[in-house]
Amino acid sequence: MARKPEHKQSSADKALKVLDLFTEDFPAWTVEMLMKELDATRATTYRYVKVLYDAGLLATGAGSSYVLGPRIIQLDRQIQRSDPLLQIALPMLEEEKSPLIGSKSISSLYGDQVLSVYVEKCDPDIFLTMQRGRVFPLVYGAPSRIILAHLPPYQMKNFYIANAEDIACAHLGETWEDFRTSMQRLRKQGYCIGSEINPTVVGISAPIFHDKSAVSASLSYVRRLEITSDAQKAELAELVVAAADRISKQLLSYRPERGTRGPVFTTPRMSV
């Protein structure tokens, strides 16, 4: 059987990959550093940097370095002001005044990860590690797992094949059948409860849908674990499931032609 040709990345793909190198630990890169990391020539590296610089995705920094650029800040502002998920959810969350809620957060499915897109601290004494912009694996934490449990079967199977070892380490199943059963159980329950992200709090998450069969995000209510009883966990679960359902209903009825701003929904997909 003939081998299928490997997919070759375009220059645009390679240039955009450069952005992945800019992290909290390595926020600034020189051309020389990029050349070594990318194993590319100086001319090729300069070409990538120029494309990103001209687009505003990179800016000049100290010591002949480059840092992330102002266009990213502009795009972030645009997301906060125009993303239908946030436009619909935030007014609803403002109306939720239950004293049980220590914080509220929304996490969106992004490739094979979950990205925190909104965090509101309600309890001044609560310690939060969940911050806007943080990404988490799909097997890690209640906000991620409730999304994972609602993925279409073929995507869940592909995810298992690519992440069987991580799934076993997360105690979600030693086999595909075990994993599928645990996800079905979680899906039937309708919410996920956990403290993996931060052991000082308990978080309860429910799925948000932009289509009847397409989960796109999760809503989480969090409370300090030391002051939370089992009865309060149950009450928080009811609150977060009801709120996520209200948000989903609004998203399901959203029609871009009714306004000037169109929806930007993350389509569930696995990068495998």
DSSP assignment of 223-260 equals EEGGG--HHHHHHHHHHHHHHHHHHHHHHHT--GGGSS
Per-chain mean pLDDT for the chain = 89
Burial of 108 (0-12, 13-18, 19+ CB in 10 A): buried
More confident residue, 263 or 235: 235
pLDDT of 80 > 90? The answer is: no
Adjacency order of strands within the sheet including 201-211: 135-137, 113-121, 103-110, 214-224, 201-211, 192-194
Phi, psi of 108 (to 5 degrees): -110, 145
The per-residue pLDDT for 267 is 41
Mean pLDDT for 8-18 is: 79
- Compute the distance between CA of residue 14 and CA of residue 5 in angstroms, rounded to an integer: 18
DSSP state of 6: P
pLDDT of 6 > 60? The answer is: no
Residues 84-95 have pLDDT tens digits of 999 999 999 999
The per-residue pLDDT for 213 is 77
**DSSP SS3 for 74:** helix
Residues 125-176 have pLDDT tens digits of 999 988 898 999 999 999 999 999 999 999 999 999 999 999 999 999 999 9
Mean pLDDT for 13-37 is: 92
- Compute the distance between CA of residue 130 and CA of residue 50 in angstroms, rounded to an integer: 34
Mean pLDDT for 239-246 is: 97
pLDDT of 204 > 80? The answer is: yes
pLDDT of 11 > 80? The answer is: no
pLDDT of 108 > 60? The answer is: yes
The per-residue pLDDT for 257 is 62
What are the C-alpha distances in Å from 26 to residues 21, 42, 70, 87? 7, 20, 18, 33
The per-residue pLDDT for 253 is 86
The per-residue pLDDT for 9 is 65
The per-residue pLDDT for 121 is 95
pLDDT of 42 > 70? The answer is: yes
Percent of residues, the chain, with pLDDT higher than 70: 90
- Compute the distance between CA of residue 53 and CA of residue 68 in angstroms, rounded to an integer: 9
The per-residue pLDDT for 196 is 84
The model carries a pTM of: 0.81
The dihedral built from the CA positions of residue 63, 65, 66 and 68, taken in this order, carries a sign that is: negative
The per-residue pLDDT for 262 is 44
The per-residue pLDDT for 219 is 98
- Compute the distance between CA of residue 103 and CA of residue 116 in angstroms, rounded to an integer: 13
